[in-house]
Structure formats: C-alpha cells, structure tokens
Amino acid sequence: MNKTVLITGVAGLLGSRLADWIVENKPEYKIIGVDDLSGGYKENINKKVTFWQMDLVNHPIENIFESYDIDYVFHFAAYAAEGLSPFIRTYNYKNNLISTARIINECIKYNVKRLVFTSSLAVYGHGNGGIFDETQQQSPIDPYGIAKYACEMDIKIAGEQHGLDWCIIRPHNVYGIKQNIWDKYRNVLGIWMYQHLNGEDMTIFGDGTQTRAFSFIDDSIEPLWNSAIRKEASKQIINLGGIEEVSIKDASSILRKVIGSGKITHLEARHEVKHSIPTYQKSIDILNFKYKTSMQEGLTQMWEWAKNQPTRERFVWEKYEVEKGIYNFWKK
C-alpha cells in the first residue's frame, strides 16, 4: 500500500527539491503539494506531485487531510525575510504562526505519523558568541525569528498534550537550483545573481564582515527525509546545513569568481545578526548529514541554472505596514 506525504511550500526551494528527491528515490510514496505561489513558481513543482494551490491562512486545508491518508507532513511554507519582518509584522505573524497552527491542528486530528517543521537559525538571535547550539536559550531579534520560535513551542506543546510526533529542523542559509532569485528582500546569493543578470552592482549591507554558514540544497535533502522517517529524529530539534564559516564579503568574491565579473556596492548596515554559525554534529549523528559540496561548486551549479531562467518581474512589496526606520535601499 502506497504511503503519502504532504509538502507545504512545494514550489519553493526546499519543497520542490524534496519532492524531486522523493519521486526519484521513494517512488512508493504519493506526494501532495501545497503552495500559494506567492514566493515560488509552478514550474518548480514536479509533474508527479498532486498540487493544491491554496493559502494556508485562509483556505480550507482540512479538505486535503480529508482527501488523503497522510503519513508525514513537511511544513516548509513561510516567507523567510528576517530583515524585512519588522516592517510587515502582521503579515509575518499570519504567514508563519496562523498557517502553522492550522497545520498542527490537522496533524493532530488525522493522526499524522510525524510533522517535520522547518524553523530557522533566526530563533537564536545573536546566540552564544555567534555559535548556535540546539540546547542554548533562544533569543530572536526580529519578528520572523519570534514567529518561528513561537511555532516551535506550539509544536512541542502539541506533542506533550496531543501525542503529536515531530521533528524541528533549523536550516541555515540554504541555496541552490530552484531558489527564488527575483525577491528583493531575501536569499542574498540569489539577490546577487539577479543584480548581475540585470546589469546592477551586487549590494552588501555594511562592511561585509558578517559571517554565515551557507548550505547547498543537495546536501540537505536526504537528511530532511530522514527527519521524518528515522526513529532517532522523533521530538528532536536539529540544526541542518553547511559547516564552513564564510563572510558575506568572501561569499561575494566566490560568486564573482564563478561568474567571471561583477562589482560590489556597500549599503548602510542593517539590524541583523553579525555572526551565524551553527553546530552540526547532531545532524550528522541523527540525519546522516554529509557536507559534500563546497560553496564554489554549489554556486557554479546555481549560476548555470540562474542565467538560463526566464525574465521575471522583481518582487517588491507594494506597501510596508510600517515605514518608520525603513532602510534607504528599501524606500519607495
């Protein structure tokens, strides 16, 4: 008897690439995909996915759970723009908190075997000297991180009170083929590719000494699958992604080397975490994570894909909820 998985955010980077992997490696699984196509594109979705276009906040998601016997839920849908979130607070909380609460409810009612939720390193805030360990106290510094942390707490409560099995993944700076490069506010590597393709300078906030651990998507897909099916992953919170600390300035240099050209313009510094370096041993021990792809290799693959993408209009918010304190580079 076939088993069934539900992937929310199936048109985005994580969702679309996980669906591709399941089709290729786990053909016995039926895949139900949900996306409102606000941040992903329909052509990203594998043809073997049964696709439902809907908004998780307002549409009747219970119809999906009534229609299929779902074994595992991968809840990836979110608008992940930490820096922008203080200026779109209401949208941020609806998009993250309300949608997740509705998914939790259905998982409980329909006895889903496990809910896998992608949280974010944003829950750590500045962390312990920039080092983010799963056991340390969370202290987010923006509404996006606050929303993700609230979702984590609600999922844990659902486990305690209703018997929901879960695994929380905290991915970090994932990039790769099928990423949205047309969004002005998120995915710095994609933003740079868009800027270069459109004859613009690549922009860096501040002096570029901020550090991140960038993660090529291909290295994270099988571990994401393992977070649903492995017994050891039950009720675990796990950092997932790259293990190499890279400054934003150095990341731009690697990309310009891959492209063969490109100029940098420095913008005003913004409110953000200075150093974001997660521990990763838990992902190795439990999810069998393997760091296989160097940043230069990953960016080479992504660039070859990006330069062959169709021309799309850049996504820009029509109206911010709050404009006081907005950075000059985001002003209308």
CATH (domain of 65): 3.40.50.720
Domain for residue 203, yes or no? Answer: no
In a domain, 41, yes or no: yes
pLDDT tens track for 203-237: 999 999 999 999 999 999 999 999 999 999 999 99
> Does the structure show a pLDDT above 80 at 311?
yes
Domain count, the chain: 1
Does residue 105 lie within any of the structural domains?
Answer: yes
pTM over 0.85: yes
Cα–Cα distance, 221 to 290 (Å, whole number): 11
For residue 169, give its domain range: 3-175+214-241
Q: Which tens digits make up the pLDDT trace of 233-280?
A: 999 999 998 888 899 999 999 999 999 999 999 999 999 988 888 889
> What whole-number distance in Å separates Cα of residue 228 and Cα of residue 166?
8
Domain assignment present for 55: yes
On the CB side of 294, CA atoms within 13 Å amount to 6
Contact 304, 255 (CB under 8 A): no
pLDDT tens per residue, range 19-32: 999 999 999 999 99
**73 vs 10, 77, 118, CA distance in Å?**
12, 11, 11
Task: Using DSSP bridges, classify how beta strands 131-132 and 174-175 pair: parallel, antiparallel or unpaired.
Answer: unpaired
